[in-house]
Structure 1
Amino acid sequence: MAPDPIPRLPLRVRAHADESLPGLIVRMAEENLLATPYRLLEACGLGRATMTSVAADPAAIVPLARLMGLPEEDLRRLSYAAADGSVRLLGHPVPGDFVTADRMRICPLCLAEAPYHRAIWGLTVLTVCPAHGVPLADRCPDCGLRLDWRRRTMAACRCGAVLGRAASALGPVPDAATAACRLLHTPPDALAGLARDIGVGGVLRLLHALGCIGLNVPLRRPLALADADPELAARVVDEGWRALADWPASFHGFLDRLRADAPLRRGRYGLAKQFGRLPAWLNALTEHAVARAVREALAAYLSGIPEIPTRARDVRTRRPAEADAACVTLSDACQLLGTSHRRLRPVAARHGLLVAGSGGQGEPLLLRRSSVRTLAGEFAGIADRRRARAILGVGRRAFADIEHAGLLPSPAAGIAADLHGRACWPVVALQTFVAHVRSTATRAARAHGPVVPLAAATRMISGLGLGSGTILAAVLDGRLRPVRLSTRGKGLAALGFPVAAVEALGVALGAEARATLSLAAAAAELAVKPEVVYQWARRGILPTVAVPGQRAERGRRVRRADLEAFRRNYATASELRGRPGMSPSRKLALEIIGRGVVPVTGPSVDGTRQYLFRRADLEALLRQG
């Protein structure tokens, strides 16, 4: 059997559980009276290696173990390198820039108690001893030279100065240093909470990053920050630990502190405005476990603060749908209401529904979810003209006659009606109106002669210039009674009227029609030119009747009731001149059109000489101010 080329040292030392591998090599060389630790490296075939490379080289474990006569597992636990090439500290994977063996740092008090190098002193984010609270020293207090591994003993500098000294007064031990020490001395399979999810290395990276972000310090390597400003490096560690101490509650407190400085940051909105450099750092983070933990905690925080506008789906899905304080974006509200941005946005602004956001440069507009749901219920409870015609069971012309006669319920008002933008009516009121008219049917066992539906009854009196509104008005005032309800007709179309009763009503209405106004007289009462009234009558906007009788009374005439109904339903711009919020200009009609009101007739609509508007639209405009 060939002899082992690596001799075994005659004297051995026991490795401490928290000792570093370079420190053990120094003690082993001292115990065997070697001039420097590098003589020991030469003896095991690592003559060209440095203490830094040996500490980070997993291949150096086997020859060192054979030379020292120690178990390989003990040396692997003290080494900064794992078998897969990753960096470890006391068995825990850590980022490479958070551990250093390039320079030697010590605690004089710890060396006075036991002269060996602690592995945790190589943790670059630590600037003080976790046991005594004194700053870690990297220079000799006598000669001022930087400490290194080329020494005879751990207890003294190369100049002979004793490094292990008692301190006159101990400093306060930072919580961050104590926590880091406790985590590193906990076996990986015994970790709990955040450390179990992201590992000790993830906790260290998160601690350093959050500390720099919280203090608005450029994110640098921990060792470079400690060299430039040790006090600032200590503050960074303390600030980072404040954010991690009671995860995620402590992290939410950290976010509160960042939000408090939002007015000092540039920008108008967004997460960068609220949380500074945290979103950019999070987006650039490549460690999936750490990024996932931070994103989940951030989403949980944002889900409870709907005033912060964001389109982040993981945040919006976390915001509880049943909470009154939860918000939705304008796009989501449009989908829920079945309307468009162009229609909903001005309505939301007028009625104070917007919670946050201005909509500029992509900033999302937020509305309270509870307000949107309430509005959706109200919106579904009102009917525009098309839906109202379906409820009444009549066509366009019949509906216009009923509306002109003033028989419809009062138009809907409020935010939902404003969102419709046109005349609309409460669905319940329309259904009640239909039920009331249908309830007038006598339901006679045998009908009195032939029976006709509403449409046919309307045609029987159409020669007088009258329509369905006249028939229903006669039903409501008791002059005409339906005698049948068809099972096939819907709404008012199910009504059946005796032919004889309809003919008698036509005779009576014809007699009433003779007491009418000429178009010129109607123009005088409306304070418009006769030519305008002629055009309105020609287009059917102002109903007229053909009056039978003597030659002097023949022609189209206006009934007094129709004139009053016209005044209730329509208005010209001159009626609003001088009203609050309205200009006294003669071009007021154009201003009204510019504000979104659609005229019924006018020069730009059908060539009529004067603009005419629905009175309901003008009253809605006045309410808007």
Structure 2
Amino acid sequence: MSPYPEQGAVIFPIRPPYILGETACGYTLRLVEANGYDWRRSTFASRGIRMKDLTHGTTSALARILDPAIVERIDWFTPRASETGGVILCGEAFQPSQILYDRQRFCVGCWADDSGRSYGSSRRPLHLRGWWSVAALISCPLHAIRLLDRCAECSRTNRIGQASCTSCMCGADLARVARIEVPSSTLAAERYVVGRLGGLPRIFDPVLDGLPLGDAVNLMQRLGCCLTAGRDVRFGRLPTERRSEMMLAGYHAIQRGPEGVEEALELLLAAPGRLDQLRVQIGQLYCWFSRLPKGRLQSWMAERIANVVRRHRISWQGWDRHVGSSPVPDRISASQAKLLFGSGWERTVAVLEAAGLRCELQDRCRPTVDRRQVQMLAKRLETLVDVNALAKRVGITPASVRKLVEAEILPLDPLGQTASAFPRFDPAAVEAILGKMAGRAPFVASPPKGSACLAAAARSVGIVPLCRALLEGRLAPIGQLEAGPGFKRIFVPTTGIVEACRVRELPQVTLSEAGRILRMRQYGLALIAGTGLIPVGENSRGRRVLDRRDVEQFGSRFVSTTELARSRSTSARAILSRLTAAGCRPAIELAVRGQIEIRLFDRSCEIYLKTPQMKARERSAPSDIQGRYPV
């Protein structure tokens, strides 16, 4: 018979009977083999009918040569595209990625059963099963052996249409491949899937039975991945061999009912994780869940997630649009608090931690905070003012406000410092300081005679000495107005104000004040303090301070070339040259990155800078003093 008969003639005179459960490509391969062809030399291939069309359920070529009832059975057991973009196999809906089209998998045990059964007067032929193309099935639940797709002789992947049903391109018999046995106890999920596809007696499950089989497989695999793969492992990077293990773990969790699914999610939330991040597995589960079409699976999973969120009070944003109302209406996440504060993420987290609202951070991921407390905190932050607003409010300049802050008279708000990069003040705290300054001064309708407001008095004695004198009781106000800016409504007497505000020498000085005492730049003084030549401490605000006696003692021992040059009306370079020529070496020399920044000499070096006239004047000075002031 010619392999290419004319169109309209009988193409295949031998028609092997159809075996229930056989796919379109499997029957077609048996059909062409029964008529003495292989696939490449068959009439289907010569007419442009591809094996890919048959594997995807296009059976129009078979409809011209077979009975319509047989073609309908073939369509039932062959994966075919649905109108919704999915795949239908044995009446069950799958996603295209869940079906293997090109790879021909087989079970040696099933073929052994075919060989041992009679089919009419002859032996039942070996054939392909439709459920072998489901990617989630790694093993055959009927015989507890692994499904194979490679030739044991050449290790080539078996492709549909490259050879016959049971032989490889190299000629090896695939039915004689050695079996790879798997424990029967690990095939519960496979039994459920094959049972729904008609290959085994069906196993009923109240949760999975209400879902399309593709969604049920996805649910089992996703939950199993959460239970077995670890909390920070990505599902797509796991090897295919582990899918069976994951599907089994998910199947057992679903068998326990909704509680089993919720416990699977809670296991990933139990251990501490990264700041404000869901576990990778939960994130992947949500990504899969969010892409689900509206239906029973989506609403069922949304209810499970809502229960977990409610019990753990966590923030899992995005899924809440799938439920009627939020299970934690009195809680919000840090991201939602950020919108209330109007600040960035890091500052929002810092404010919540400073306010003590995120104490559970180490116990669970994505913690939520009390909505009412956050709203109250946001209102409090709105009442804080900056330097310019405070200066206008109290009636002084912004520079005076900064001086009072540096002198620790006006307090900075701790939450304001955390929430903003600029100083923030609580008006109530500032008014309390002004109330202490006013003391028991009586309220007057107009300024008393011989008095000046604090803003005016500060111009003569300084804002810091004036405020300290008022707070320490060395100066008492004589009246205050009922309204007006704080520093303009308190009045002090103009007489005796200078004596009362005279600055006392404090035992501790800041770096800037110590620099003025030593006539040295603050940068250079910081280098000296860093080496330990002058002991450094901290005040109540955490600022570095120096002991006044240590500073004065240091200044009495050492002198810089700049100070020597100023006292002699010359340049520092000239002073350094004269000291070097006299063989006087620096007592302290500090370098930064190879460049000398600090060079100090002992004060005894001044003897090398005296001119002959100065030395002669010093020799004659004692006799003049004795003659002028007799002892």
TM range, smaller chain:
0.3 to 0.5
